[in-house]
């Protein structure tokens, strides 16, 4: 069988996916909405072969073993089932994220893997089917099939839970600056973090309610191309998500001292008249939402607190593609 290579870009949620209704199928508790970014992506090549006795998986030139390899093999089983394919696969995946930025690579990773592996197995999946498949690898991957602003519609089962493009062509000058504070493995994975908050935070039902309302506001803000409103809603949504970790039992947090420093710098810039806002996922890094024209001034100010290598600028990026 032939080798197939696909590229998928990572995405940052403006309205977060935070909690599952169905663990196995990865059906979320709320719909979410993200921006796909041009700078960070994964290239993955897959080839099925009758010569293999098991899957051989390489990530950034390292052979994967243990639970990380099992997770990929488990995902490949879904494709083998659909394609009626008995063969194991070579998987070779490279993350193109400058200097191991600790930015969500599971989104680009599983989106690229879904595209490459399904086609290598002989399936011809359209983007909605690819989005549903990628979801089974990692929830956020469901959105990386599309470029620009993307909504993951919660749905209620495997058929109905998938992403749709909200606006793939972004014709206003929104950008993101990723502030890389720590590129180590997360202490609490998103998977276990969300399971904890669903099970123990008394604020969790309030999160779901607020996220639904935020999504409606966010769509209006995007249609208006209003970066201030997009930023305000995204920042508020992210902090509500993080409030569920502080209110979990036992409590935990993804905040690190440097995360708070970055938030404060952004708040100060705002007081000085700049339109910039922050969001944060299941790790300490901060992503700043701003406009292209204000990016140089914001970078200059951030440069007083962080090294230049810690500051990565990204624009809206494309959906999954075959190379």
Residues that bind ligand PMV (CB under 6 A): 13, 16-18, 32, 104, 106, 138-140, 190-191, 281-282
For residue 191, the minimal CB distance to ligand PMV (Å) is 5
Residue number with CB closer to ligand PMV (57 or 104): 104
Cα–Cα distance list, 193 to 17, 18, 251, 282 (Å)? 12, 9, 10, 8
Residue number with CB closer to ligand PMV (191 or 301): 191
Cis, peptide link before residue 250, omega less than 30° from 0:
yes
For residue 17, the minimal CB distance to ligand PMV (Å) is 3
For residue 238, the minimal CB distance to ligand PMV (Å) is 9
Tell me the residue length of the chain.
Answer: 323
For residue 194, the minimal CB distance to ligand PMV (Å) is 7
Residue number with CB closer to ligand PMV (133 or 282): 282
Residue number with CB closer to ligand PMV (32 or 47): 32
For residue 6, the minimal CB distance to ligand PMV (Å) is 18
Residue number with CB closer to ligand PMV (34 or 295): 34
Residue number with CB closer to ligand PMV (42 or 106): 106
Residue number with CB closer to ligand PMV (15 or 85): 15
For residue 211, the minimal CB distance to ligand PMV (Å) is 10
3 state SS for the chain: CCCEEEEEEEEEEEECCCCEEECCCCEECCCEEEEEEEEEEEEEEEEEECCCCCCEEEECCEECCHHHHHHHHHHHHHHHHHHCCCCEEEEEEEEECCCCCCCCCHHHHHHHHHHHHHHHCCCCCCHHHHHHHHHHHCHHHHHCCCCCEEEEECCCCCCCCEEEEEECCCCCCEEEEEECCCCCCCCCCHHHHHHHHHHHCCCHHHHHHHHHHHHHHHHHHHHCCCHHHHHHHHHHHHHHHHHHHHCCCCCCCCCCHHHHHHHHHHHHHHHCCCCCEEEECCCCCEEEEEEHHHHHHHHHHHCCCCCHHHEEEECECCCCEEC
Give Rg (Cα) of the chain: 19
For residue 268, the minimal CB distance to ligand PMV (Å) is 26
Residue number with CB closer to ligand PMV (139 or 317): 139
For residue 58, the minimal CB distance to ligand PMV (Å) is 21
């Amino acid at each position: 069988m032939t080798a197939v290579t696909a590229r998928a870009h990572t995405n940052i949620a403006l309205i977060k996916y935070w909690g599952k209704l169905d663990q196995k199928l990865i059906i979320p508790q709320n719909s979410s909405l993200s921006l796909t970014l041009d700078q960070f992506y994964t290239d993955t090549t897959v080839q099925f072969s009758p010569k293999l006795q098991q899957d051989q998986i390489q990530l950034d030139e390292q052979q994967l073993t243990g639970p990380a390899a099992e997770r990929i093999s488990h995902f490949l089983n879904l494709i083998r089932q659909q394609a009626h394919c008995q063969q194991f696969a070579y998987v070779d995946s490279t993350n193109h994220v400058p200097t191991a930025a600790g930015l969500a690579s599971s989104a680009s990773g599983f989106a690229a893997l879904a595209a490459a592996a399904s086609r290598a197995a002989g399936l011809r999946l359209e983007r909605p089917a690819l989005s549903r498949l990628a979801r089974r690898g990692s929830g956020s991957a469901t959105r990386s099939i599309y470029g620009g602003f993307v909504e993951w519609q919660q749905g209620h089962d495997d058929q109905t839970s998938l992403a749709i493009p909200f606006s793939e062509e972004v014709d206003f000058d929104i950008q993101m600056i990723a502030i890389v504070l720590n590129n180590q493995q997360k202490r609490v994975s998103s998977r276990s973090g969300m399971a904890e908050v669903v099970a123990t935070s008394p604020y969790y039902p309030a999160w779901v309610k607020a996220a639904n309302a935020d999504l409606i506001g966010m769509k209006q803000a995007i249609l208006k191309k209003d970066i201030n409103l997009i930023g305000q809603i995204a920042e508020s949504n992210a902090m509500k998500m993080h409030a569920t970790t502080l209110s979990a039992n036992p409590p935990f947090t993804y905040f690190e001292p440097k995360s708070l420093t970055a938030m404060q710098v952004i708040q100060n810039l705002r007081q000085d008249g700049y339109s910039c806002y922050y969001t944060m996922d299941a790790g300490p890094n901060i992503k700043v939402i701003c406009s292209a024209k204000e990016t140089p001034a914001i970078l200059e100010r951030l440069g007083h607190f962080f090294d230049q290598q810690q500051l990565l600028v990204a624009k809206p990026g494309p959906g999954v593609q075959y190379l």
